[in-house]
Chains A and B, each alone.
Chain A
Amino acid sequence: GDSVTQKQGQVTLSEDDFLFINCTYSTTTYPTLFWYVQYPGQGPQLLLKVTTANNKGISRGFEATYDKGTTSFHLQKASVQESDSAVYFCALVDSGGNYKPTFGKGTSLVVHP
């Protein structure tokens, strides 16, 4: 079945640092890829989405590029702020099959002022 791997359980940064969160995936179909963000006490919400047609997603200063060759979908931001502290989930939907979503385990980002 499909799988999504986020190896970084927690990332701790200072404001204005560069953010990189690693995400790799495995699927036999052509997926649609997502990054969701979850703030404390809330449900996850969409941060950005990428399909095989457009390769890159950009939202609120965050960027992710879909690399089919390395099956990766890393999340980046040039300069983080304390307000970016949250849990970030990488996810895929098997858009060529049963449309079942698969989430990574999440990466907790802590940004110190």
Chain B
Amino acid sequence: EAAVTQSPRNKVAVTGGKVTLSCNQTNNHNNMYWYRQDTGHGLRLIHYSYGAGSTEKGDIPDGYKASRPSQENFSLILELATPSQTSVYFCASGGQESSYEQYFGPGTRLTVL
């Protein structure tokens, strides 16, 4: 069955620290996405990728970097974490192969103190 997994599931970080959120998919989808979910804002797209080696800026990319080293893996990197980045982060995969339906992971709850 198609699956998207995220690690860690929960993370507490300090302000100014570096945080890496990881995502793995076994769907063999070309596209992968990173979102954050905050009350009152819904799902906002941070970065996305069309395939290994590609990253594209989404709607709110500032303060985040992304890396797509392989078809299966897509990471979100916070080089200097700030309290405003406290949120729940979701990874998803999907593309032309799935008629653009997205399959989401279970989410990572990040708290920046």
- Of residues 36 through 86 on chain B, the ones whose CB sits less than 8 Å from some CB of chain A are 40-45, 48, 56, 58-59
A93 interface hit (Cβ, 8 Å): yes
Chain B residues whose C-beta falls within 8 Å of the C-beta of A102 in the assembled complex:
45, 59
Is A101 a contact of B106 with CB atoms below 8 Å?
Answer: no
Chain B residues whose C-beta falls within 8 Å of the C-beta of A93 in the assembled complex:
100
- Of residues 78 through 99 on chain A, the ones whose CB sits less than 8 Å from some CB of chain B are 89, 93, 95, 98-99
**With A105-B41, A106-B42 as given contacts, are A46 and B95 in contact (CB-CB < 8 Å)?**
no
Is A105 a contact of B99 with CB atoms below 8 Å?
Answer: no
Complex-state Cα separation, A39 to B45, whole angstroms: 20
- Of residues 22 through 56 on chain A, the ones whose CB sits less than 8 Å from some CB of chain B are 32, 34, 36, 41-46, 49, 51
Total chain A interface residues with beta-carbon distance under 8 A: 25
How far does the Cβ of A89 sit from chain B's closest Cβ, in whole Å?
6
Is B100 a contact of A44 with CB atoms below 8 Å?
Answer: no
How far does the Cβ of A82 sit from chain B's closest Cβ, in whole Å?
23
Chain A: CB-nearest residue to B102: A101
Is A45 a contact of B104 with CB atoms below 8 Å?
Answer: yes
**With A43-B105, A43-B106, A100-B48 as given contacts, are A95 and B100 in contact (CB-CB < 8 Å)?**
yes
**With A99-B95, A101-B33 as given contacts, are A44 and B43 in contact (CB-CB < 8 Å)?**
yes
Q: Residues 76-113 of chain B: 1 if any A CB is under 8 Å from the residue's CB, otherwise 0?
A: 00000000000000101001100111111111000000
Is A43 a contact of B107 with CB atoms below 8 Å?
Answer: yes
Complex-state Cα separation, A36 to B92, whole angstroms: 13
Chain B residues whose C-beta falls within 8 Å of the C-beta of A99 in the assembled complex:
31, 95-96, 100
Residue in A45, A49, A100, A104 whose CB lies within 8 Å of B45 = A100
Chain B: CB-nearest residue to A104: B42
A103 interface hit (Cβ, 8 Å): yes
Complex-state Cα separation, A104 to B37, whole angstroms: 11
- Of residues 1 through 34 on chain A, the ones whose CB sits less than 8 Å from some CB of chain B are 6, 9, 32, 34
Which of B's residues lie within 8 Å of A, judged by CB?
A: 4, 31, 33, 35, 40-45, 48, 56, 58-59, 90, 92, 95-96, 99-107
Which of A's residues lie within 8 Å of B, judged by CB?
A: 6, 9, 32, 34, 36, 41-46, 49, 51, 89, 93, 95, 98-106
